Structure 1
Amino acid sequence: MMLFDPKPKSRRSDLFDREEEINELKNSVLKTPLTLLLGIRRVGKTSVLKVSLNELNAPYVYLDLRMLEEEGYSRVAFYRLLSEALTNTVSKWSNLVDYLRSIKGVGVYGVKVEFDWREKSLTLTRVLNKLNQFGEREAEKGFVVVAFDEAQILRNISGGKGKADFKSILAYAYDNLPNLRFVLTGSEVGLLLNTLRLDVPSSPLYGRYVRVVRLERFNREKSLEFLKRGFEEANMLVSDDVLQKVYERVDGIVGWLTYFGCLIIESHKPITEAVDEVTERALKLVQKEVDEVFRRSRHYMHVLKAISLGISTWSGIKRAVEAWLGRPLQNAQITRLLKTLVELSIVEKKNDYYVIADPLIAEYSRRL
């Protein structure tokens, strides 16, 4: 079940397509201090990142910031995540141990890296300085890659007493640590860009050149080829009509194509029945994700329902939401609701029209 394996891929041979994006990302890391890898959720960013990191053959530190959603966004939780990431790095590049040991508050036991949270002088900047020294003196390519997956989460641990200001840290590293390369991925694209504030003169990162690599969903042809090859790997012959039906449900979002393929294979039911069953299971996942937004305000539910029903203009959405609420809303409220949904990459704005990015979110919203 290679293509339909739900885990992120780490080898190019296990990945379908994405040759252009992998090469673009690798080329950017070789030349640019800071690269953004952007795309909506489930479009394959983590797989492209991991394949690229492995093929660069340079030391890297990979942090999946989604782990902080469970552990909280404290300084302690972040440094625990960093220590685990560095442990993985040390297991492959053992020479890094000597550099880390020289940092007060860092202990290395075998290949396990641990931080002493009570040591006030222990900062991310000190760790980055040592990684920079290691990249200069030990790395064959002359640099170390630091990758933050789902980097918009950094906004939750930016600024404030006892927390790191990541914009300033990235700006410092950009200017002073030439042997580091940073890659930041983001599914909530607007939030990530707002976190970095690259175009805001008061931001520490203002004026720095940043390369952006974007991942788009597969087109119809690639989606059908992906599904066909995935089922062939499982020795299943699936009709073109069924492949088309799956594509229409998820519209080229590779994470959903993989999810559908994997569960259809495991269901042992007639294909058409299995597709419908997997759709309902997928909608339950969508419900969990979207309900997080609804908890902020029930108005989001009405906005998404309006868009899912084909009401795509600002004025039309406002009229629909007001009709369901039975009272008027200020223009600024509707604008703010739509802006947040766009920042979360749940809604896309195309010219003056709004559409829901994920067909399954659209289907869930229609049922509200």
Structure 2
Amino acid sequence: MTLLLFLGGLAALLGGAEMLVRGASRLAAATGLSPLVIGLTVVAFGTSAPELAVGIGAARSGAADLAVGNVVGSNITNVLLILGMSAVIAPLVVARQLVRMDVPVMILCSVAVMGLTIDGRLSRIEGGALFLACLGYLALLLRTALRGGDDEPPDAPARVPRGLASRALDLALVAAGLALLVLGAGWLVDAATSVAAAMGVSELVIGLTVVAIGTSLPEIATALLAVLRGERDMAVGNVIGSNVLNLLLVLALTAVVSPQGLAVGAAVIRFDLPVMTAVALACLPIFYTGHCIRRWEGAVFLAYYAAYLAYLLLDAAGHDALPAFSAVMMRFVVPLTALTLVMLVLRSLHLGRARGRARGLDLEEDGQ
């Protein structure tokens, strides 16, 4: 039965991702909104639906660690695993709007959640405040899109006018794709959670790994298929939009429906939330340099995700290698990566100034 659930969930994910990307790309071309904005809103809402379903269900059943671990683990997975895999397949173009607005919003949300949960609980009032912030973010997104400030990349598809019947079909494709993604993710999570629970893994670790990857499978399927179909801006927008919605919508509503608010474990406050925030911060310099995610940067994301999983598994098993592994990561790998990112940003700023000076000289020569 577990094997059938797994295979059925995988088939539903693949079919749902194809329908969602096809319908969303056509909808973008017909409505005049860029694939980036569609990815940040429609697609992000749909692919965050499994996290919302799992979070609310876990909160009502008293499994707070599973609910929190699902959101935090999904945000880490979305950036390190999904963007990493997608960039390795093909370098990802990053729209300027992401650097100017959406990534800073993701960082601000991550820092805010860290601050709100430092006392070990996300209250219902705090959850409500996060949800209001979600509404404000969506309003800002739509206002920016309507004003034409979404900065479509040069490879964005041409906008094609479509009739009412065609738009209805596109919406039906999006809705059917979302339904299949949610259904498939649910089946896969049920199958994987049964196996993990049988192995005696803790609720928090299950939430951070098995459930987080399972509920991120819609994002994985959608992003990879979007990259293969040439909708690379939709893939990046989907990931960033999903991360913002995971915090402002999923975590917020999970806290609101919890009678006593959402309890946050000490291990999450001490380690996983800082990792989630650091991952969000790392996006800004990587996205800024060249406004793209290169293959080697995707490989670095994947390597860090493997290291994160290794830490969780070593910690859960109480393995003797954990102190040495942590020391190597914190003393060598992390500082070296931070130094590399700083050098890349400085180089990008230097090149930008050089181009600006060159343009200024060209204008002076033309004037003379």
Tell me if both proteins adopt one fold, taking TM over 0.5 as the criterion: no
Which protein is bigger by CA-based radius of gyration?
Answer: 1
TM-score scaled by structure 2? 0.23
TM-score with structure 1 length normalisation?
0.23
Higher percent of residues as helix: 2
